[in-house]
Structure 1
C-alpha cells in the first residue's frame, strides 16, 4: 500500500523572541533567502523611519520603500517600484497593514516574502491572505504565505497595548469559527480539514487558557505562535475557514456599515465570537471567552467600542452579506431584527451576571 502524504505550506523559519530583528541579516543569509543581501524592505511612511535608521547599517544591500498604509493602491505602487530590480526577497517590516500590503506586492512581482511583525494585532502575519482597503471598502486577496516570520518581542512591547489586545481577540475567535465550520459540516456537508482545524483550535485554546498577560513574555510568545499557527491553518485549508466564521462576518459588517467608527479588527472579532457562541447555545463557552476578553482589557459589549445595542442589531443582521456562501450560526438561525435584539439582551445579561 502506498504511503500518502501532503506538503504543508509553511515558513522555513519562525523566530519569536526579544531582539529577533537584530538577527535579520544573518537569518536571510543562513536560510539562503538572500545570500547577496539584495532585498526590498517595506516599512510604514511614519514610524518605519526609525526602523530604517536602526537597521540600515546591518543591511547595506537593501532598498527601503515607505508604504502609505494598507490599501490596494499602496500595494500596487510598492510592486511597481520593485519591479525589474532583481531582488532576492521582500521584507515587510511593521504592523498588519504594512505586512498585508507587502504580501500582495510580493505576490505581484513573484518574490518570496519575509514578514517581520512589530505588533501582534491579527493572524495576517502568516496567512495566505492580504486584507486591503479599496474603492468599495475592503477586500481579501489570496497570496502566498511568507517564507519566514520574525516577531521581535521588544518591538511588540513598544507598540500600543491595544494592538496586542486585538491579536488576542483574533486568536480567540478561532474557537467560534471552528464551531461554525462544524455546524456547516453537519448542515450542508461542507468538508472539514482536520489538520487545519486542529492547528486553529490549538492556537485559540492556548491563548484562552494561558494565565499570563500582555506584559508577560511567555504569554506574548504563545500569542505570536498562535497567530502563526492560525495563518498556517488557513494555508492548509486553502481558505480562511479555520479562523473566520460569524465572528468575522460581524467584524466585516462593522467595517462596512460604520467605516469611520469601526474598532480594531481583533476587538470586533472577539466580541463577535463571544456573541456567536451565545447564539449557538454554548453559554459556558461564551462566558469563558467574554471573561478572558475582559481580563485582557478587550470589549465584550458593543457599547464598549462606541456602538449602541440597536447599531449592533443592525450589524448582526447585515453580517451574512459580507461573506456570501459561508454558512455560520447567523445563516443557520436567520434571525429577524427583533430576534437579534432579544438575543443580544440575553447575551448582555448572561455575561454580566
Structure 2
C-alpha cells in the first residue's frame, strides 16, 4: 500500500530569489493569472511591493490585501474577499502569521498558494499545519501544503536575529518530539511512520552538523536552517500530523500561551520547554550539552528572560499534559508540585538568567 504525500512542487532558497523570479517555473505559473497577495505588516509591505513589481504586467491582475493578525476574523474577512472575486493563485508574504493565514484561506477556498517567508521564526514556512487565534486562544488546524516556497536570503539577512533564533528553537524540538512519538508507539497509542521520523531527525541533525563547522557565516546558517525547517514541514506532511516535530516541549509552550499570557515567540517558548522535556526523558546530559549551543544561537536558557515568573512556569508545566490529547513523557510520570519545583531548579538555574534580551516583535 502506498500513501500520497503532498510537498511543494518548487523550492527556491537563494540570494536574489525575488529579482530572479522571472527565471523560474513559478513565474510561468503566474502568467495571465489573477493573483492575490496576502501581505504581513511592517517591513513586509516593502518586500510585497518588490514581488508585486516583478510580477505586474506578467500576471493578468495583482491585488494586495493586508494581514494584520492570524485571528479567525481576519481569515473570514480574507475568505469573503476571495469568494467574491476568486483569484487563480495566492501569494503569502511575511512571517508566521501571514503565511499561516494564507495557507488557511487557500485551503478553504481551494486556491493554490505560493509562500515568500520574510523570516524563519517557525516551521510555518512549509507545513501542513497553521496556527490561528480563536477567542484569543491559539489553535492548530490542518491545511494544504504550499505549491511553492521561495526564500530570498537577502531578505532573511535583514530580519532581527531573534526571529531566526526562534525558528531554530522550533527546529531543535524535533529531538524531544521524536522521543515522545516513540514512547507513544511503544505504549501502543500511535503508529510510527519511519520515513517521517527519519526526515524530522535528519532535519535537525543536518543543522547541527552545519553548526559544528569551524567556519560558518550567518548566510550559510540561514540557508541550512531554512532547509531543515522545510524538511520538518515535509516530515509532518508524510506523518499526516505534527507528531514528528511537536511533543511535550510544544505542550509546555501551548500552556505558556493559554495559562501564562503568551509573552514570547513560539520558538522561544519551545526552546525553554525543550530543556524541561529532555530532563524528563532522562537526557540530563543533553540539557548540559545544549547549553553552549543555546548561547551560540542566541536562544533563551531561562524562562524569566522571556518575562515569565517561576509561578507561571510551574503552572505551564502543571497544565502542559492537558493541552491536547497527545501521549508524551508527561503521561509516563506523575509530577507532584514538589517534583516540578525540584526540576525547575535543576533545568533553569539562576546562572542561566540574563543571557537573553527580549527585543523585537512578533512576526506578521
Using the size of structure 2 for normalisation, the TM-score is 0.89
Which residue does 1:232 correspond to in 2? Answer: 234
C-alpha deviation, 1:54, in angstroms: 2.5
Which residue does 2:311 correspond to in 1? Answer: 310
Residue 56 of structure 1: which of 37, 40, 52 is its match? 52
The worse-fitting range, judged by mean Cα deviation, of 339-348 and 93-102 is 339-348
Which residue does 1:40 correspond to in 2? Answer: 36
Whether the aligned pair in 2 keeps the contact of 1:16 and 1:151 (CA below 8 Å) is yes
C-alpha deviation, 1:134, in angstroms: 1.5
Please give the alpha-carbon distance, in whole angstroms, between the structure 1 residues aligned to 2:217 and 2:77. Answer: 37
Which residue does 1:216 correspond to in 2? Answer: 218
The 4+ residue runs of structure 1 with deviation greater than 4 A are: 212-215, 349-352
C-alpha deviation, 1:350, in angstroms: 11
Please give the alpha-carbon distance, in whole angstroms, between the structure 2 residues aligned to 1:91 and 1:103. Answer: 9
Residues 190 and 53 from structure 1, CA distance in 2 versus in 1: closer, same or farther, beyond 3 angstroms? closer
Question: SS state of the match for residue 343, structure 1?
Answer: helix
The worse-fitting range, judged by mean Cα deviation, of 52-61 and 131-140 is 52-61
Which residue does 1:13 correspond to in 2? Answer: 10
Question: SS state of the match for residue 12, structure 2?
Answer: strand
Whether the aligned pair in 2 keeps the contact of 1:274 and 1:287 (CA below 8 Å) is no
C-alpha deviation, 1:28, in angstroms: 5.5
Question: SS state of the match for residue 62, structure 1?
Answer: strand
Q: What's the Cα RMSD here?
A: 2.1
Residues 313 and 17 from structure 1, CA distance in 2 versus in 1: closer, same or farther, beyond 3 angstroms? same
Please give the alpha-carbon distance, in whole angstroms, between the structure 1 residues aligned to 2:328 and 2:144. Answer: 26
Whether the aligned pair in 2 keeps the contact of 1:170 and 1:270 (CA below 8 Å) is yes
Please give the alpha-carbon distance, in whole angstroms, between the structure 2 residues aligned to 1:214 and 1:33. Answer: 36
Please give the alpha-carbon distance, in whole angstroms, between the structure 2 residues aligned to 1:275 and 1:117. Answer: 30
C-alpha deviation, 1:137, in angstroms: 0.8
Give CA deviations for 1:295-319 in whole Å, capped at 9, x if unaligned.
2111122122122333211110011
Q: With CA pairs under 8 Å and 6+ residues apart, which has the higher RCO, 1 or 2?
A: 2
Which residue does 2:290 correspond to in 1? Answer: 289
C-alpha deviation, 1:139, in angstroms: 1.3
Structure 2 portions without partners, runs of 5+: 353-364
Residues 118 and 276 from structure 1, CA distance in 2 versus in 1: closer, same or farther, beyond 3 angstroms? same
Please give the alpha-carbon distance, in whole angstroms, between the structure 2 residues aligned to 1:254 and 1:86. Answer: 38
Structure 1 portions without partners, runs of 5+: none
C-alpha deviation, 1:36, in angstroms: 1.6
C-alpha deviation, 1:351, in angstroms: 9.1
Which residue does 1:69 correspond to in 2? Answer: 69
Residue 254 of structure 1: which of 246, 253, 256 is its match? 256
Question: SS state of the match for residue 158, structure 1?
Answer: coil
C-alpha deviation, 1:27, in angstroms: 3.4
Report how many residues are paired: 346
Please give the alpha-carbon distance, in whole angstroms, between the structure 1 residues aligned to 2:114 and 2:51. Answer: 15
C-alpha deviation, 1:88, in angstroms: 2.2
